[in-house]
Amino acid sequence: MTPTPLSLRSLTEMLWRSLLLLGLGLLLLGTDRAQNKRPVLEQVSNGPADAPLNPVRWVRGACIPNNSHYLEGHYIPYRAVIPGVPLTGRSSIDIVFTVLQNGGLVSSDFFTSYNAGIPHEQVFGHPAEFIDPVSGLGGPFPPKTNVPVPPPTNAFGYDFAGAFERFTALFGQQLMSIWNGTIHSIEFQGYTGQPQSRVTARYNVTFSADRLPVIIAWGGHIADPVDYGEGATAGKGKTELLRLARAVSEEDILTGAAVAALEEELSFDGGGMSCTFSVDGGKPINPTRTIKDIITTESPAAGAAIRVYPNPSRGSLTVDLPRTEGGYHLHLSDLSGRTVRRWSGVQGGQLKANALKPGIYLLEIKQARTGKRVVEKLTVH
Please tell me the predicted confidence (pLDDT) of residue 298.
40
Rounded Cα gap, residues 381 and 361, in angstroms: 11
Mean pLDDT confidence for 294-319: 62
Q: How far is CA 113 from CA 29, 145, 171, 340, in A?
A: 37, 12, 11, 20
pLDDT band at 12 (very low <50, low <70, confident <90, very high): low
Domain residue ranges in the chain: 38-282, 295-380
Please tell me the predicted confidence (pLDDT) of residue 97.
92
Rounded Cα gap, residues 57 and 42, in angstroms: 10
Please tell me the predicted confidence (pLDDT) of residue 344.
82
Rounded Cα gap, residues 343 and 365, in angstroms: 10
Amino acid at 380: V
> When comparing pLDDT for 101 and 357, which is higher?
101
Rounded Cα gap, residues 273 and 62, in angstroms: 12
pLDDT of 155 above 90: no
What is the fold, at CATH topology level, of the domain defined by 295-380?
Answer: Immunoglobulin-like (2.60.40)
Please tell me the predicted confidence (pLDDT) of residue 262.
37
Query: Vertex 92, ends 91 and 97: CA angle to 5°?
Result: 160
Rounded Cα gap, residues 343 and 334, in angstroms: 16
> When comparing pLDDT for 147 and 253, which is higher?
147
Stretch among 7-16, 115-124, 226-235 having the lowest mean pLDDT: 7-16
Please tell me the predicted confidence (pLDDT) of residue 145.
94
pLDDT band at 135 (very low <50, low <70, confident <90, very high): very high
Query: Vertex 339, ends 350 and 49: CA angle to 5°?
Result: 120
Amino acid at 172: G
Rounded Cα gap, residues 275 and 218, in angstroms: 14
Give me the residues paired with residue 187 across strands. 204
Sign of CA pseudo-dihedral 69, 106, 219, 119: negative
Contact present, 65 and 282 (Cβ < 8 Å)? no
Contact present, 347 and 327 (Cβ < 8 Å)? yes
> When comparing pLDDT for 283 and 343, which is higher?
343
Stretch among 37-51, 135-149, 255-269, 359-373 having the lowest mean pLDDT: 255-269
Rounded Cα gap, residues 76 and 34, in angstroms: 29
Please tell me the predicted confidence (pLDDT) of residue 96.
92
Whole-prediction pTM: 0.67
CA 213 centroid distance within chain: 20
Give the chain's length.
381
Q: How far apart are the first and last CA of the chain?
A: 100
Mean pLDDT confidence for 81-91: 87
Q: Give the HSE-up count for residue 346: Cα atoms under 13 Å, Cβ half-sphere.
A: 20
Contact present, 94 and 87 (Cβ < 8 Å)? no
pLDDT of 213 above 50: yes
pLDDT per residue over 310-338, tens digit each? Answer: 877 877 778 888 877 778 888 888 766 67
Please tell me the predicted confidence (pLDDT) of residue 248.
53
Amino acid at 155: A
pLDDT of 85 above 90: no
DSSP state of 280: G
Q: Strand, coil or helix: what is 259? A: helix
Please tell me the predicted confidence (pLDDT) of residue 133.
96
Mean pLDDT confidence for 51-57: 91
pLDDT per residue over 31-44, tens digit each? Answer: 333 345 678 899 99
Rounded Cα gap, residues 216 and 92, in angstroms: 12
What one-character-per-residue DSSP string does 140-164 give? --PPPEEEEPPPP--BTTB--HHHH
pLDDT of 118 above 70: no
Residue 193 backbone zone (phi > 0: left; psi -120 to 50: alpha; other: beta): left
Rounded Cα gap, residues 112 and 163, in angstroms: 12
Contact present, 246 and 262 (Cβ < 8 Å)? yes
pLDDT of 373 above 50: yes
Stretch among 221-230, 237-246, 290-299 having the lowest mean pLDDT: 290-299
Give me the residues paired with residue 244 across strands. 93
Please tell me the predicted confidence (pLDDT) of residue 39.
86
Rounded Cα gap, residues 76 and 218, in angstroms: 8
Stretch among 53-57, 85-89, 218-222, 321-325 having the lowest mean pLDDT: 321-325
Please tell me the predicted confidence (pLDDT) of residue 134.
96
Rounded Cα gap, residues 310 and 381, in angstroms: 11
Q: Beta strand 61-63 with 274-278: parallel, antiparallel or unpaired?
A: parallel
Q: How far is CA 252 from CA 94, 182, 207, 349, in A?
A: 20, 18, 15, 68
Contact present, 336 and 116 (Cβ < 8 Å)? yes
Closest CA to 147 of 186, 104, 107, 106: 186
Q: How far is CA 12 from CA 3, 5, 23, 24, 25, in A?
A: 19, 14, 16, 18, 20
